C-alpha cells in the first residue's frame, strides 16, 4: 500500500524553508554557504550558495531531524474566519473582476459548485460565510485553505484565490507546506487529509467534523 505520509515527509523535507528552526536542530549540519570560482580570465570570485541548500532533503540524517522537528511543532496561526473591509474595499471586492467575489464564483464553477454549496462543508457561521461570498468581508488565509481542501481545488486555483485576498503560500509555515502537498497531489480523501494534518499538528482550519 502506498505510504502517503512518507511521501508527504519527503515533500516537506524538500519544501520547508524555515531555516531558523532547521539550523538549531540537534544533529543538523550547516552546509557550506560560501564558495569561489575562477572565471575565464583567471580571476577568483566568491559567491553565496542558494538558501535551499539548507533544506532537510539534503541532510544525511533527515529522518531523525524531521522527527525532532515534528515534536516541536505547534500551530500558532490565527483562526479568525474573516477580516473587515473598508467601504471602498467592499465595493472593489464585490464588483471588480479581480475581486474575491467574482474570482470565487468563477473558480467554484469549474468544480460544479456554488458559493452556497461550498459553504456547507466549512465550519463557519452561515451569516459570516454569506458576508464573505457577498463581498462584505474578506476571508482569512485559513478560510481560503479550508475551502481549498473541502472543495477539492487545485493548487493553482488555490494560489489564485489566495492572491486576490493578498495572501500566498509561505513555505516557512508548516501548515502551508502540508496543504500545498495535499493539493498538488490531489489528496482529497478526508481520512487522509485528517491523518496529514494530525501528523504535522496542523489546526485552526474550518473543516466540518468528519
pLDDT at 167 over 80: yes
pLDDT at 1: 40
Mean pLDDT of the chain: 91
Top-confidence residue, 80 or 20: 20
Top-confidence residue, 83 or 199: 199
User: What burial letters (b/e) apply to 111-146, b meaning 16+ CB within 10 Å?
Assistant: eebebeebbebbebeeebbebbbebbbbbbbbbbbb
Q: How far apart are CA 56 and CA 210, in angstroms?
A: 32
Q: Which residues contact 129 (CB under 8 A, 6 or more apart)?
A: 81, 119, 122
pLDDT at 3: 87
Question: Which of 36-40, 103-107, 121-125, 203-207 is least confident?
Answer: 36-40
pLDDT at 184: 97
Q: How confident is the model at residue 153 (pLDDT cuts 50, 70, 90)?
A: very high
pLDDT at 77: 83
Which DSSP string do the residues of 175-203 spell out, in sequence order?
HHHHHHHHHHTT---HHHHHHHHHHTT--
pLDDT at 147 over 60: yes
Rounded to the nearest 5°, which phi and psi values hold at 188?
-110, -5
Task: Kindly report, residue by residue over 17-68, the tens digit of the pLDDT.
Answer: 999 999 999 999 988 877 667 777 777 767 676 888 999 999 999 999 999 9
Task: Kindly report, residue by residue over 131-143, the tens digit of the pLDDT.
Answer: 999 999 999 999 9
Q: How many CB atoms lie within 10 A of CB 63?
A: 13
Percent of the chain surpassing pLDDT 90: 73
pTM over 0.85: yes
Amino acid at each position: 500500500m502506498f505510504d502517503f505520509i512518507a511521501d508527504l515527509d519527503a515533500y516537506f523535507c524538500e519544501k520547508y524553508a524555515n531555516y531558523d528552526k532547521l539550523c538549531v536542530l540537534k544533529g543538523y549540519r550547516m552546509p557550506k554557504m560560501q564558495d569561489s570560482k575562477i572565471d575565464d580570465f583567471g580571476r577568483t570570485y566568491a559567491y553565496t550558495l542558494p538558501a535551499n541548500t539548507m533544506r532537510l532533503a539534503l541532510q544525511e540524517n533527515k529522518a531523525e531531524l524531521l522527527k525532532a522537528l515534528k515534536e516541536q511543532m505547534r500551530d500558532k496561526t490565527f483562526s479568525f474566519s474573516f477580516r473587515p473591509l473598508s467601504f471602498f474595499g467592499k465595493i472593489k471586492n464585490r464588483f471588480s473582476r479581480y475581486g474575491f467575489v467574482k474570482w470565487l464564483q468563477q473558480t467554484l464553477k469549474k468544480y460544479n459548485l456554488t458559493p452556497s454549496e461550498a459553504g456547507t462543508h466549512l465550519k463557519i457561521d452561515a451569516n459570516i460565510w454569506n458576508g464573505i461570498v457577498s463581498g462584505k468581508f474578506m476571508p482569512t488565509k485559513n478560510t481560503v485553505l479550508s475551502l481549498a481542501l473541502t472543495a477539492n481545488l487545485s493548487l493553482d486555483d488555490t494560489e489564485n484565490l489566495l492572491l486576490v485576498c493578498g495572501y500566498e503560500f509561505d513555505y516557512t509555515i508548516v501548515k502551508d507546506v502540508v496543504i500545498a502537498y495535499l493539493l498538488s497531489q490531489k489528496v482529497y480523501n478526508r481520512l487522509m487529509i485528517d491523518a496529514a494534518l494530525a501528523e504535522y499538528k496542523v489546526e485552526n482550519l474550518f473543516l466540518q467534523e468528519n
